[in-house]
Structure 1
Amino acid sequence: MNDDLTTRLIHHPYKPPEGFEAMAPGVHKASTVFFPNVEALRTYDWKDKSGYTYGLHGTPTTFTLEERLATLEGGTHCMLAPSGLAVMTLVDMALLRTGDEMLVPDNAYGPGKVFAEAELAAWGITHRSYDPMDPADLACKIGPQTRLVWLEAAGSITLEYPDIPALVAQVRQANAARAGGRPIVTALDNTWGAGIAFQPFDLGVDVSIQALTKYPSGGADVLMGSVITRDPELHRQILLTRMRLGIGVGANDAELVLRGLPSMALRYHAQDASTRELAAWMQQQPGVAQVLHPALPDSPGHAAWKRDATAAACLFSAIFDASIAQARVDAFCDSLRLFRLGWSWAGPISLCAPYKLSSIRPHGWSGAGALVRFAIGLESVEDLRADLAQALRALHA
């Protein structure tokens, strides 16, 4: 019909045969999505995954990833965003209004608290911190304006493991005492548990977010986050906020996470085993005052972890004797050879980062020495232990 070569190439009639099937899901890239007719253009609805309308709202690739992630965490609805922090802030914006209050655990992920201190405060939304290891403290902090309670297991950096069912119970009691109105929602940062250590919805939470950057990806080469719920109305509320913000993820990034999912449980348990061995060894070393890891009996929240979880991820933190200056601990980190200095975790390469407890945890850790958080990768345990040993020798030289 068309003689011009350019037009013929763009509108080429060939379509590949149906029935192709392979291990890897197809990677579908699109901004524009074609509709078969005007009726379809007017009626297709991306929100329930029954049709495609625009690349930003979903393709077969992103829908497939969302469904698999929902299964991973025991939820029924999932949506994606460009990072773990993005899904955290998305939940805040979707569920909070001017005059509302949000409660966050004292040991929560730092950038999430910074978002509350800056952006949410500017919009007239207040926040307070509570002690995640004391459900009674949470009960005292819940007020008439509280609308969202964040949970995190284990806590960021210091790795305290909270009694999630007990914290959720306090929120449910507060909701039961209210005479109607908007309920308080519980949202869990489940990046550490990842759907492997425990099932978040079995513990009673309403929303589970995860930085897919960590375990689901596993390659330290992609940024992404997920929000998962079992409540269709909560899902719709957050989904519509995502749509209004114009947030989406790229098909190639979704492909990388899909590629990482089949090996996720194997990697999680392998890194868990290595981490437990190294944490127990580190606990015995001179100059180390305390090792924080939920599987260690004297680590905060061990009893709750033992009751509710079956695994313990790849992180442990070592607190050095208060007599060892921060500069010497920094030099210890610099002298490590296999452990690299860097943020994030759950990739194949082990990482470390020094922290000043007085700046990140002003309450409950007074007088403690410098802290180093270790993220254990997939290297040989023997090699990692030897690297730690040579750095400790340099520390005490």
Structure 2
Amino acid sequence: MDDRTKLVDAGRHPEQQKGTVNPGVYRASTILFPNVAEFERPRAYPDVGYGRYGTSTAFNLQEAVQALEGGGQCLTVSSGKAAIVQALLALVEPGDHILVTDSAYGPTRTFADGFLKRFGVETTYYDPTIGAGIAGLIRPNTRVVFMESPGSLTFEVQDVPAMCQAARERGVVTVMDNTWATPLFFKPLAHGVDVSILAATKYIGGHSDLLMGTITTVPALADQMRARVHDMGTPAAADDCWLALRGLRTLAVRLAQHQAGAIAMAEWLAARPEVARVMHPALPDDPGHALWSRDFTGASGLFGIRLKPFGKPALTAMLDGLELFGMGFSWGGYESLIIPSRLARLRTVTPWPEGGPTLRLHIGLEAIDDLKADLAAGFERLKAAA
């Protein structure tokens, strides 16, 4: 079945909702049982027994995401970072070692360098382009290889199949943050990944009004992951699950628009005299383009640029006067965003080259000509203040 059909159909059960198209919102802590036998009955997942373990709203969303991921078991938690944290905690113990891409999302590094270090887990960062060479970094106590492709600030594309094969041959679990592409444009499990993570806050929600993460695992890890996630006690709220289900239905059409707008904008920016480099793997001259073309079926609305050398006052003048581009964290909503990014401080293995300031852009659903005009006016302010 085509993914576009799955997005519309999966997780909907009108026959269980008296014909209602959309599942209901089940806000619940306590679940009542009709008798002792039912109260004492062992419950297999998914089954409603207590609100913290999920209700029908969450189970419907998990079913839909699982269909899009291509199988496995999906769990929903309270944020994208919660998904990263809980997935890693389910897989490591004190004394273990993990490998994390040097292009990882900042809060992933914070968790690894902070909590995991205090917990007794050592982290080694690796060059995102290492590919099968990851085998040389695996130790006897290495438990996880963590990937993020493309990186959400520098946009390097990783050779996920090669890395998964190297890890699998050594009994190491692979985890991937796939928020940039979503399973619509890249399916981690089909490329050998054991645990696929999404910040559903981003494209699945699509409207900048919820926080959520999903963790989808291969069957062999399902029981282990579910037990540890339930131990953490941070489920996604029923109302947020309902919003995520609503967002999921339009994911295909929204991502198509985000992709078209971002590629058009990236090509326009590549021709601007103020821009030194565009970081977008869908562009033919991008270093990760060959891997992106081989493994991905599309691109989202997020990419980066490096400007030619300009001082902070000039950059501030450019950004502060923008009318359509908002300045804020997150991305994946309908609105366009732009933020300055300080990449040098986030790299420890592969230093980021010195040069002009870098910006991360998310291209929303506005008319592309209006967005170009907003940036063009910003570039004029940039040059005037230089």
SS of 2:90 mapped into structure 1: helix
CA contact (8 A) 1:208 1:229 kept: yes
1:185-224 alignment to 2 at 5 Å? Answer: 185-224=173-212
Candidates 369, 377, 385, aligned match of 1:390: 377
SS of 1:365 mapped into structure 2: coil
TM-score, normalization by structure 1 = 0.90
Report the alpha carbon displacement of residue 197 of structure 1 after superposing the two structures with TM: 0.9
Q: What is the percent sequence identity of the aligned residues? A: 40
- In structure 1, runs of 5+ residues without a counterpart are 1-16, 176-182
CA contact (8 A) 2:17 2:24 kept: no
Report the alpha carbon displacement of residue 23 of structure 1 after superposing the two structures with TM: 1.6
The equivalent of 1:20 in structure 2 is: 18
The equivalent of 1:135 in structure 2 is: 131
CA distance 1:18–1:193, change in 2 (3 Å): closer
Structure 1 Cα separation of the partners of residues 353 and 247 of structure 2: 41
CA contact (8 A) 1:357 1:369 kept: no
Report the alpha carbon displacement of residue 198 of structure 1 after superposing the two structures with TM: 1.6
1:72-91 alignment to 2 at 5 Å? Answer: 72-91=68-87
CA contact (8 A) 2:153 2:343 kept: no
The equivalent of 1:285 in structure 2 is: 272
Structure 2 Cα separation of the partners of residues 293 and 43 of structure 1: 53
The equivalent of 2:111 in structure 1 is: 115
Structure 2 Cα separation of the partners of residues 238 and 172 of structure 1: 18
Report the alpha carbon displacement of residue 18 of structure 1 after superposing the two structures with TM: 7.8
The equivalent of 1:101 in structure 2 is: 97
- In structure 2, runs of 5+ residues without a counterpart are 1-14
The equivalent of 2:36 in structure 1 is: 38
Runs of 4 or more, structure 1, over 4 Å off, are none
CA distance 1:197–1:19, change in 2 (3 Å): closer
One-letter amino acid of the counterpart of residue 185, structure 2:
A
CA contact (8 A) 1:105 1:151 kept: yes
CA distance 1:394–1:19, change in 2 (3 Å): closer
SS of 2:184 mapped into structure 1: coil
RMSD: 1.5
Are residues 1:48 and 2:45 paired?
yes
The equivalent of 1:4 in structure 2 is: none
Per-residue CA deviation, residues 187-228 of structure 1 (Å, 9 max, x unaligned), is 010111111112111111001010000011101000000000
SS of 2:338 mapped into structure 1: strand
Per-residue CA deviation, residues 269-306 of structure 1 (Å, 9 max, x unaligned), is 11000000000100110121000001012223110001
Per-residue CA deviation, residues 287-335 of structure 1 (Å, 9 max, x unaligned), is 21000001012223110001111111001111011x3123322332212
One-letter amino acid of the counterpart of residue 198, structure 2:
Q
Structure 1 Cα separation of the partners of residues 329 and 236 of structure 2: 22
Report the alpha carbon displacement of residue 156 of structure 1 after superposing the two structures with TM: 1.9
The equivalent of 1:251 in structure 2 is: 238
SS of 1:340 mapped into structure 2: coil
The equivalent of 2:329 in structure 1 is: 343
Max Rg structure: 1
Candidates 71, 79, 103, aligned match of 2:67: 71
Per-residue CA deviation, residues 208-249 of structure 1 (Å, 9 max, x unaligned), is 010000011101000000000122x41211111122221212
1:222-237 alignment to 2 at 5 Å? Answer: 222-231=210-219, 233-237=220-224
Pick which of 331-340 and 118-127 moved more: 331-340
1:235-274 alignment to 2 at 5 Å? Answer: 235-274=222-261
CA contact (8 A) 1:316 1:373 kept: yes
CA contact (8 A) 2:17 2:23 kept: no
Structure 1 Cα separation of the partners of residues 218 and 97 of structure 2: 23
Bigger relative contact order, structure 1 or 2 (CA pairs below 8 A, ≥6 apart): 2
Structure 1 Cα separation of the partners of residues 17 and 150 of structure 2: 45
The equivalent of 1:12 in structure 2 is: none
